[in-house]
Amino acid sequence: MLLSKNTLKRILIWRYKNVSERQFIYILSLLVGFLAGLGTLVLKNLTYFFHWVLEGNLIEDYHYSLYFLFPIIGLLIVNGIKKYVLKREIGHGISTTLEAISKKNGIIKQYKIYASIITAPITVGFGGSVGLQGPAVSTGAALGSGIAQLFHMNTKTRMLLIGCAAAGAMASMFQAPIAAIIFAIEVFSLDMAFVSLIPLLLASVSAIITSYFFLGHDVLFSVKIKEVFEIRDLAFYIVLAIVTGFASVYFSKIYFIIINFFNRFKKTSHKLFWSLITIGLLLLLIPPLYGEGYSIINNLLLNNAPEALKDLPYEFDKTNVWTIIIFLLLIGVFKVVAMTTTFAAGGVGGIFIPTLVMGSILGNVIAKTINALGFSVSETNFTLIGMSGLMAGVLHAPLTAIFLIAEITGGYELFVPLMLVAAVSYSITTYFVSNSIYTVELAEKGELITHDKDKNVMMMMDIKKIIEKNFVRISLDMSLRQMLVSAVTKSKRNIFPVLNEKKEFLGIVLLDDIRPIMFDQKLYDELTVSDFMKSAPAVIFDTDSIEQIMQKFKESGAWNLPIVKEDGTYIGFISKSKLLSAYRTKLLQFTS
């Protein structure tokens, strides 16, 4: 990004002479994958550093009450950075990236390259109960967008490089390259054509090699399957699927409820105070909620639940399975509460890892319950598949859930229960919650990019660019004479919008309606605009999506429709011919 203009110019000239467009995209995808992997490594290592300094030394050496203090300090620092250093909001990584793809043609402001790297490790390192996957994607996406802009790539390529960055961040985080590609396709709705898969593959490989180079084979969690799927366990997996489905609904609903609750505070200071106190108390009462929660996942995968509960400040029998189940459920139920409260307090992080934590707990609890009732199932397998169930439901990403767990385990022995649980959980969740936490706001606005190319083209069109304003306005009390002199003789259009003193749209007058009498001078002063005005066949609002606008044209049969603000203020007209022309132009750009 620090290239001088002359250096960049020479590179671009050399590139146009020697490298084809496709080859150049492959080169850029490798570069984006490398940078996304590097950014993810920085995020992880900064976070581990804060964990090591605070949790490893201070809390153990002094008093567990610091679980209350540290997250408050961390979140105050993050809010200070956003307010006084960045002077802007950061937003949730994957949600803001989706918004940039859907509404900003993949243009991401470059401060997001470093914003998450600065704030996310402080949030998580000081105990915020969120993950790093979202910030890693945000950092990588900003890098991908910046590189595309630097080399003057078109909109479609810019979006592809953002997808490459997302795949790179995922591959580097979990060392799971196949799941990373599926994640980019599934969550970001990228084109699944072969020409798009090669850059995603290159970015994913580049990122994972970067991760291996700096970390070796050290991964967040890894486990080898010792007990394969048994057909006799099928009924138990169906139970797990149903439980994770409804748990995903709970996760999503609680998230929306808590966010809406804190948004009701009119003063930012009040919202910050109560959210900080809430997250501090939660971590004080349930210390395992501190940070991302990887230690919980790893201990459950090793069948070491007592170790996962070691930070609880309560005396209880750690050999009693029912006591362990109750405390694990307590952590699982409140993980989403702690995560959402961290967001409400201004923390920067993601929902991906908290989803895995809750899923691992549910899977392990169900396995323990089944075993306590006299049956025998693998707690490790149920822990893994519980993670896939929550991922499929909460993130609305069943394929990512299946392949991520398959890659983590290094094989496909659990493919059947993975597919079963992911499919059932996803189906249950989408029945009650139609959009994921990532996409709900965009979906409500009709601005969510999907695999439907036709809808994507319409969504990416800019309504402001097709509004026509060369229509002569008239008022309701204007006489026919005044209208003819001041409007008809000066207009090239055959429609005249009628407005009041506040410039609010009232209706239209058509030239065809006054043509039979426009030469009868006896009527010039007897008739007024109100005698000819009629309602428009339909009215477009500036908040309508392109899809809604096209539907209004279809239902009304009109060739020109007025567009107004929500308060009724007149803006101009949109013509069907110009709308279709703009659609064709955008379609060519999108599919070229």
pLDDT digit string (tens) for 190-234?
A: 665 556 789 999 999 999 999 888 766 555 666 777 788 889 999
The mean pLDDT value for 421-431 works out to: 96
Q: What is the CATH number of the domain that holds 533?
A: 3.10.580.10
19 and 85 share a domain? yes
- Report residue 121's pLDDT band, with 50, 70 and 90 as the boundaries: very high
Q: How far is CA 232 from CA 229, 238, 240, 382, 462, in A?
A: 9, 12, 14, 14, 56
For residue range 364-379, what is the model confidence (pLDDT) as tens digits? Answer: 999 999 999 999 999 9
Tell how far CA 246 is from the center of its chain.
Answer: 22
Among 36-40, 62-66, 309-313, 582-586, the range with the most confident prediction by mean pLDDT is: 36-40
In a domain, 223, yes or no: no
Please say if the pLDDT value at position 100 is more than 80: no
Q: Are 565 and 541 in contact (CB under 8 A)?
A: yes
The mean pLDDT value for 8-14 works out to: 80
In a domain, 306, yes or no: yes
The DSSP H or E segment spanning 560 is: strand 560-564
Choose the final residue of a domain: 215, 246, 269.
215
Dist CA 451 CA 436 (whole Å): 16
pLDDT of residue 441: 66
Choose the final residue of a domain: 215, 242, 266.
215
Tell how far CA 389 is from the center of its chain.
Answer: 19
Residue written as token pair 């467009």: 21
When mean pLDDT is compared across 476-480, 567-571, 582-586, the lowest value belongs to 582-586
Choose the final residue of a domain: 434, 456, 478.
456
Dist CA 520 CA 524 (whole Å): 7
In a domain, 220, yes or no: no
When mean pLDDT is compared across 110-114, 217-221, 241-245, the lowest value belongs to 217-221
Please say if the pLDDT value at position 546 is more than 50: yes
Percent of the chain exceeding pLDDT 90 equals: 47
When mean pLDDT is compared across 92-101, 160-169, 196-205, 552-561, the lowest value belongs to 92-101
The DSSP H or E segment spanning 509 is: strand 505-510
For residue range 552-561, what is the model confidence (pLDDT) as tens digits? Answer: 999 998 999 9
Q: Are 461 and 512 in contact (CB under 8 A)?
A: no
- Report residue 76's pLDDT band, with 50, 70 and 90 as the boundaries: very high
480 and 446 share a domain? no
Query: How many folded domains does the chain comprise?
Result: 3
153 and 301 share a domain? no
187-209 burial code (b ≥16 CB/10 A, e <16): bbbbbeeeebeebbbbbbbbbbb
Question: How is residue 430 written in tokens?
Answer: 């989408």
In a domain, 55, yes or no: yes
- pTM for the full predicted model: 0.80
In a domain, 515, yes or no: yes
Question: How is residue 431 written in tokens?
Answer: 């029945």
In a domain, 224, yes or no: no
Domain extent, residue 190, equals: 5-215
Picking from 35, 52, 94, 33, the residue whose alpha carbon sits closest to that of residue 349 is 94
When mean pLDDT is compared across 1-5, 152-156, 265-269, the lowest value belongs to 1-5
| Angle, alpha carbons 86-90-94 (nearest 5°) | 150
When mean pLDDT is compared across 42-51, 242-251, 390-399, the lowest value belongs to 42-51
pLDDT of residue 1: 46
Residue written as token pair 């477009």: 540
Residue 152 main-chain phi, psi, to 5 deg? 55, 45
In a domain, 346, yes or no: yes
485 and 387 share a domain? no
316 and 408 share a domain? yes
Query: Edge-to-edge, what's the strand order for the sheet holding 540-541?
Result: 540-541, 560-564, 570-575
In a domain, 387, yes or no: yes
Give the chain's radius of gyration (CA, Å). 29
502 and 377 share a domain? no
pLDDT of residue 56: 58
Please say if the pLDDT value at position 440 is more than 80: no
Q: What is the mean pLDDT of the chain?
A: 86
- Report residue 443's pLDDT band, with 50, 70 and 90 as the boundaries: low
432 and 291 share a domain? yes
43 and 109 share a domain? yes
- Sequence-separated (6 or more) residues with CB below 8 Å from residue 17: none
Alpha helices of 508-558 — where are they, by DSSP H? 511-514, 546-556
163 and 84 share a domain? yes
The mean pLDDT value for 176-187 works out to: 89
Under DSSP, the state recorded for 528 is B
Q: How far is CA 231 from CA 17, 144, 217, 351, in A?
A: 60, 45, 33, 33
Strand partners for 496: 509
pLDDT of residue 93: 73
- Report residue 34's pLDDT band, with 50, 70 and 90 as the boundaries: very high
174 and 211 share a domain? yes
For residue range 503-539, what is the model confidence (pLDDT) as tens digits? Answer: 999 999 998 888 888 777 778 888 888 888 999 999 9
Please say if the pLDDT value at position 461 is more than 90: no
The gap between the terminal CA atoms of the chain, to the nearest Å, is: 27
468 and 440 share a domain? no
Q: What is the CATH number of the domain that holds 95?
A: 1.10.3080.10
134 and 249 share a domain? no
